[in-house]
Amino acid sequence: MPGFASYQEALDFMYKQLPMFQNIGKAAFKADLTNTIALLERLDNPHLGRRWIHVAGTNGKGSVSSMLAATLSAHGYKTGLYTSPHLVDFRERIRIDGICIPESTVLAFLDLIRDAIINIQPSFFEITVALAFYHFAQENVDYGVIEVGLGGRIDSTNVISPILSVITNIGWDHMDLLGNTLEAIAREKAGIIKHKTPVAIGPMFDEPLAEILAIAKEKQARIYRDLPMDVGFAKAIPLHGDYQKENLQTFTCALEALKDLWIPIKRSKVLDGLKNIKTLSGLRGRWEVLSDSPFAVADTAHNEPGVKLTMGQISQMRKDSPNGKLHVVWGMVSDKDREKILRLLPVDANYYFCKPDVIRGFDAQALANEAKSLNLKGDHFDTVLRAYEAAMASAGAEDIVYVGGSTFVVGDLLKSLS
């Protein structure tokens, strides 16, 4: 079969012909690893025999993965980083020392594996995972930090044998796929824990923690948790969301585990990595400041625990600047528990409702109507950019503009502003 004529044609093949969770949600989720294993076998199993760090959790796994990758890069190790979803460019998902996978590599990979894709019919995510392992093997990375996409036990990334597993926290999200209790969700996340492989655990509620500790004990996995954090970490990192304190705690536990694996870790290099995390990992959309006057910030928090934390930080900012008004640019996807999340938002803010540009995006007018029934009042707009521009035009110098509700809202805006 002839190869793809261009990178864009190859990318369109991935987007248009294959189910993608970003677009259609639950229907794209595969409840086993069969397709991923079949794809990797066609590629001579590039995921085997390498040093991986596997990171799961409800919130914070992207930040913790980036902290670890940046730290390893700062120590001089060639470090791969796989995260999802992307915000602006597909290639953000697969990086080595902060550098996105080249378009030429994506094109060559899809030319190589096209027939297998047609025969196996894997999902977009399964293909992307295989691409990441292929690229990291081709470039012979020293370490690879792999973020779980959804859950853990049956996530496509769970084909690896890591040197370290990390679970950031457990909260309410994707209950239709992972379970209706925190314990059930914890069991799915803990599926990344491997026999006699250390596991670093972040701060979390007692119920899921007990579940994870029990599974770790059964797997004879050494546990790292509740270790004292170096205060210099928080000073070094240029990420100012309050929730990063918990992520740094998880990161601290993971660092201690790496030291016990005889990986030399120097404090000065850790600080260098954290200081340069944006360059070394490409991390964006986490309390990303867009403007100083008015203060405008975008954040990818999109589930109940994440939104609670960001709204808590906004509340504190408003106390510090009582004369300022709050303007919220807000959009969601259709398969979230919208009412539960909308109830976390302040009723005295001005709202600018919008629909993220994905098939799962929830209609802006319908969202405005649902929000109005909860005393959240505002206008609706047909794009995220127009909603943001309206908010910025209405905001005074002392006001706050917050953009969020969905990773895809933040992605749309960053793409429009780039």
Cis bond before residue 294 (omega within 30° of 0) = yes
The predicted structure's pLDDT at residue 24: 45
The predicted structure's pLDDT at residue 302: 87
3-state secondary structure of 190: helix
CA nearest to 344, candidates 371, 378, 384: 371
Per-residue pLDDT tens digits for 106-118: 999 999 999 999 8
Residue 175 has pLDDT above 50, yes or no: no
Is 354 in contact with 378 (CB distance < 8 Å)?
A: no
Residue 350 has pLDDT above 70, yes or no: yes
Q: What is the pTM of this model?
A: 0.93
Share the mean pLDDT of the chain: 92
The predicted structure's pLDDT at residue 227: 95
The predicted structure's pLDDT at residue 173: 57
The predicted structure's pLDDT at residue 2: 65
Averaged pLDDT for residues 69-93: 96
Greater confidence (335 vs 101) lies with 101
Percentage of the chain beyond pLDDT 90 is 80
216 is written with which tokens? 């770790």
Per-residue pLDDT tens digits for 89-143: 999 999 999 999 999 999 999 999 999 998 998 888 999 999 999 999 999 999 9
Greater confidence (359 vs 217) lies with 217
Cα(73)–Cα(273) distance, integer angstroms: 7
The predicted structure's pLDDT at residue 282: 95
Is the alpha carbon torsion for 377, 383, 387, 393 positive or negative?
Answer: negative
Greater confidence (322 vs 190) lies with 190
Residue 179 has pLDDT above 80, yes or no: no
Is the alpha carbon torsion for 108, 113, 118, 121 positive or negative?
Answer: negative
Beta strand extents in 111-202 (DSSP E only): 143-147, 164-167, 199-201
Q: What confidence tier does 205 reach under pLDDT thresholds 50, 70, 90? A: confident
Q: Which domains does the chain have, with CATH numbers?
A: 7-281 (3.40.1190.10), 288-417 (3.90.190.20)
3-state secondary structure of 378: strand
Least confidently predicted of 19-28, 327-336, 371-380:
19-28
Residue 30 has pLDDT above 60, yes or no: no
Q: What confidence tier does 21 reach under pLDDT thresholds 50, 70, 90? A: very low
Greater confidence (185 vs 63) lies with 63
222 is written with which tokens? 């050494």
Cis bond before residue 264 (omega within 30° of 0) = no
Cα(189)–Cα(154) distance, integer angstroms: 9
Q: What confidence tier does 216 reach under pLDDT thresholds 50, 70, 90? A: very high
Residue 72 has pLDDT above 50, yes or no: yes
CA nearest to 60, candidates 311, 250, 338: 250
3-state secondary structure of 223: strand
Q: How many angstroms separate the Cα of 381 from the Cα of each of 77, 340, 356, 364, 366? A: 46, 22, 11, 7, 11
Cα(348)–Cα(327) distance, integer angstroms: 9
Q: What confidence tier does 3 reach under pLDDT thresholds 50, 70, 90? A: confident
Greater confidence (335 vs 287) lies with 287
Residue 166 has pLDDT above 80, yes or no: yes
Averaged pLDDT for residues 21-48: 77
402 is written with which tokens? 């917050």
Greater confidence (275 vs 85) lies with 275
Is 189 in contact with 213 (CB distance < 8 Å)?
A: no
Averaged pLDDT for residues 161-181: 76
3-state secondary structure of 228: coil
Greater confidence (409 vs 337) lies with 409
Averaged pLDDT for residues 387-399: 97
Residue 19 has pLDDT above 70, yes or no: no
Q: What confidence tier does 240 reach under pLDDT thresholds 50, 70, 90? A: very high
Q: Angle at which helices 7-17 and 103-120 pack, to 10 degrees? A: 40
